[in-house]
């Protein structure tokens, strides 16, 4: 079948499928926060949100906050006494920074069961309902769990969270249902990536995907009424953690199969060559 013939056939097929509701019902992943899936929010609104790219403020911690004289990284708040904002120009080692000149360093020589995580919390980030991806660059050294008497694994010793807020910036209930057993768990907790390690001696700078759980859990969905989020990265166990280049962005899964293919449908026919 020639390309022009195929394209014409494809357009007709898509039009018929759309009229029958097949695409929105079976060929796309419903976005969180709506009953109609991705089509519950106007396409232009979703495209605009995607075009914003990385929503994390000051993602590489380079800028100093202009609003106060504390010397905090712009868009972030340090929580705990063992959290440093290291600067390569001020004497930090070269391997303590991944991008630019600054990063976050958390060093805890000891950690107890009742200790809270120490780390950095972002400012409020405006969002629309939907699915979001969260990644960061991490380096780890000599990380051990904070519940050593249980002989357990790391669990949430390396803590990553997305806190959900409504339009009035009131905290929302983060509970979600496990699609396998039906039990409830905290969907704001994104610490699953390292949860099953017993300990970590050395972990070089790498991109880490913050996750609540594995398939078939729909990762990254926000509760229906979410209009703001805050990101938290911290260390609850002992050891050292370095953080850089936080990325929080609107996912492609907020668009149906047809919407993702739309930019390619009107393009000129490719010239096939043997």
Residue 32 has pLDDT above 60, yes or no: no
pTM for this one? 0.82
Q: What is the arithmetic mean of pLDDT over 183-204?
A: 94
Percent of the chain with pLDDT over 70: 81
Q: Does 191 have pLDDT greater than 70?
A: yes
The residue-averaged pLDDT of 49-71 equals 88
Rounded Cα distance, 233 and 127, in Å: 19
Q: Tell me the per-residue pLDDT of 83-109, one tens digit each, with 9 for 90 and over.
A: 999 999 888 899 999 999 999 999 999
CATH superfamily of 53-253: Galactose-binding domain-like (2.60.120.260)
Q: Where is average pLDDT lowest: 60-69, 138-147, 183-192? A: 60-69
Task: Indicate if the pLDDT at residue 179 is higher than 90.
Answer: no
Q: What is the pLDDT of residues 230-263, one digit of tens each?
A: 999 999 999 999 999 999 999 999 998 888 887 7
pLDDT of 180 reads 82
Distance CA 120, CA 84 (A): 10
Greater confidence (145 vs 261) lies with 145
| Rounded Cα gap, residues 21 and 260, in angstroms | 17
Neighbour count for residue 261 (Cβ, 10 Å)? 12
pLDDT score of 126 more than 70: yes
Q: Is pLDDT of 150 > 90? A: no
How does pLDDT run across 34-52, given as a tens digit for each residue?
Answer: 455 546 899 999 999 999 9
Q: Indicate the average pLDDT of the chain.
A: 85
Q: How confident is the model at residue 122, as a pLDDT?
A: 97
């Amino acid at each position: 079948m020639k390309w022009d013939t195929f394209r014409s056939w494809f357009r007709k097929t898509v039009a018929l499928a759309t009229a029958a509701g097949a695409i929105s019902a079976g060929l796309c992943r419903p976005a969180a926060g709506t009953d109609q899936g991705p089509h519950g929010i106007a396409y232009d609104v979703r495209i605009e949100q995607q075009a914003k790219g990385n929503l994390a403020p000051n993602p590489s911690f380079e800028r100093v906050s202009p609003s106060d004289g504390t010397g905090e990284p712009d868009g972030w708040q340090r929580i705990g006494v063992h959290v440093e904002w290291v600067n390569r120009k001020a004497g930090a080692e070269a391997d303590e920074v991944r991008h630019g000149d600054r990063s976050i360093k958390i060093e805890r020589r000891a950690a107890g069961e009742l200790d809270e995580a120490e780390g950095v919390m972002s400012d409020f980030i405006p969002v629309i309902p939907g699915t979001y991806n969260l990644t960061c660059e991490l380096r780890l050294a000599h990380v051990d769990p904070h519940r050593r008497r249980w002989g357990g694994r790391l669990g949430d010793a390396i803590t990553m969270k997305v806190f959900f807020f409504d339009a009035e910036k009131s905290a929302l209930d983060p509970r979600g249902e496990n699609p396998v057993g039906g039990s409830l768990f905290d969907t704001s907790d994104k610490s699953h990536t390292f949860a099953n390690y017993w300990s970590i001696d050395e972990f070089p700078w790498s991109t880490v995907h913050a996750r609540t759980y594995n398939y078939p859990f729909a990762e990254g969905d926000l509760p229906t009424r979410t209009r703001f989020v805050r990101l938290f990265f911290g260390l609850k166990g002992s050891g050292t953690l370095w953080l850089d280049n936080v990325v929080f962005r609107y996912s492609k899964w907020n668009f149906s199969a047809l919407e993702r293919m739309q930019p390619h449908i009107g393009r000129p026919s490719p010239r096939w060559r043997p």
